[in-house]
Amino acid sequence: MNLRFLLFLVALPMSLSAQNTIGGVKISVPEEEVKRQSQFLMAERERLLNHHDKALELYKKFTYDHPTVDAGWYGLARSYTASRDLPAAIEAIGKAVTLAPGNEWYAVYQADLFEKVGRIGDAVSVYEGLVKRFSETPEFYEQLAYLSLKNEEPKRALKALDKLEDLIGLTEEIAFKRHVIFVGLGDMKKAAAEYKKLADAFPYELKYRLELAAFYDKIGDKAGARATYEEVLRREPNNTAARMALTSGKEETDATKLAAFKPLFDDPAVSIDEKVKALMPFFTKLNTPEGAALRQPILELGALLEKHHADDAKAWSLSGDLFYHSDMPGEALIRYQRCIQLNPTVFAVWDNLLGLQLAQGRFDEMFTSAEKAIDAFPNQPKAYWYYGVAANIKGRSDDALNQLEQGLLMTANNTTLRLDMVDQVGLALMGKKDYSGAISRYEKSLTKGGDQHPGILEHLGDALSLSGQAAQAIEYWKKANTIRRSKILEEKISSGKL
């Protein structure tokens, strides 16, 4: 509300001086009524100005002086809510509802407060009353359904949604909500029926029929899925989703499925999203013994993605993943680089790229890539870790330390990465020949998970050895070797030195 107008309203009753004129007839307004209105408006003004403490005191006084005025209790409830005293707010709004049971907005506010404090059953009861008194208000049925689900009463929610459909007709939102409820109840037949109702009600919206087919497939009703996909193709013969699904569904083995996919992958009209979806189930099989026979046909499909969707980053990301899971990291690296050129905004691809560069010992490239990743994702701590690793290997200890310390600030909820960061911080300090500093950082981490981190334990031993504390160094090397055995550690232990 405009502040000047509000102040005018507050001042108006005072200027009336207990008189008013209506239709040319002078009407006397009792002085007490003028004072009452003024008192209320002053309280409401403070509330609207977010002066919650002042509003609260003014509304308390108003309700004490005028306990039968429902608007005063409503204002007091809102002031208590603003002050985060929800129990008091609930008590106040309850009095407003009692005084004015026909005011739906008081009831809505009461239900909202009940929900905030976890009294969901009471909120449901309020809305049950609202839909009886205001049976033509769709929003009340929607909220009743929502609260009923929250109160673990799915059948009550279904009843509310049925009433809502009677009122406004079938909508996507109503059908999807009922579908989810039936899935939760384990009634897959009724869950499927909701999609079918949508598909039949909106026959030209093929997405509903595709949803139905996919759901049939998900619950193992292959015949239902096939029949529905065929119905889609009768309506739209070139529908790529249905073509892809039917091609996959009619083949018995993985090898024949992949062979059947080839004409579709060679068709640029088939969307890349459908192609990606078709290939996803095969990723986990590439690293299995039986996956060796699938590798070549899968890579051929990846090549077709690159050919027909060369300007789409998803093609190169997927192809990179295919090569990665086929144990061909060099080829995967090339494709991740191309993906980043097309779309540098997905950190998962940077993560894959940097991980491969680290594994292949491409530290100069890794250093440059990590620097770019930090610029693109300043809030991704793992980018700082990659940078720190590369900088340490390149002997740039100060650079490593600066970025690692920044990255550490973002790892509070990621213990594994935090410890990896501390490990690299210690290495950077050792690179600066600050062995006591490295020992201190490592020792502080031991009570926070560092005692189970083989890198920290080994490098703490290294720092102790370099500072002339051989006996203690050996103890930490032994602890590290217990967690992660290595010939290098065993040599350190046997020789007693680096």
CATH topology of domain 251-343: 1.25.40
d(CA 54, CA 223): 69
Mutual angle of helices 206-218 and 240-250, in 10-degree steps: 20
- Pairwise CA distance, residues 125 & 438, whole Å: 63
CB 89 within 8 A of CB 106: no
Query: CA-CA distance, 433 to 427, in Å (whole number)?
Result: 10
CB atoms under 10 Å from CB of 36, counted, come to 17
Task: Return d(Cα 238, Cα 270) in angstroms, integer.
Answer: 9
Sign of CA dihedral 168, 172, 173, 177: positive
Which tokens belong to 219? 């619950």
SS3 460: helix
CATH fold match for the domains 170-249 and 251-343: yes
- Range 344-347, long-range pairs (CB < 8 A, 24+ positions): 344/372, 344/376, 345/376, 346/313, 346/317, 347/373, 347/376, 347/377, 347/380, 347/383
225/253 Cα distance (integer angstroms)? 18
Tokens found for residue 355: 């991980």
pTM of the model: 0.67
User: Is 383:377 a contact under the CB 8 Å cutoff?
Assistant: yes
Give me the CATH code for the 170-249 domain, please. Answer: 1.25.40.10
Burial class (CB in 10 A: 0-12, 13-18, 19+), 237: exposed
282 vs 322: CA distance, rounded Å = 9
* Per-residue pLDDT in tens (0 to 9) along the chain, 498 residues: 444 434 434 443 433 344 455 555 555 556 677 677 877 888 788 888 888 888 888 888 888 888 999 998 999 999 999 989 999 999 999 999 999 999 999 999 999 999 999 999 999 999 999 999 999 999 999 999 999 999 999 999 999 999 999 999 999 999 999 999 999 999 999 999 999 999 999 999 999 999 999 999 899 999 999 999 999 999 999 898 898 888 876 657 888 888 889 999 999 989 999 999 889 888 878 878 877 888 999 999 999 999 999 999 999 999 999 999 888 999 999 999 999 999 999 999 999 999 999 999 999 999 999 999 999 999 999 999 999 999 999 999 999 999 999 999 999 889 999 999 999 999 999 999 999 999 999 999 999 999 999 999 999 999 999 999 999 999 999 999 999 999 999 999 999 988
Domain residue extents for the chain: 170-249, 251-343
Cα angle value 167/170/176 (rounded, 5°): 120
Q: Which of 248, 244, 191, 199 is nearest to 222 (CA)?
A: 248
- Burial-class residue 220 by CB neighbours within 10 Å (0-12, 13-18, 19+): exposed
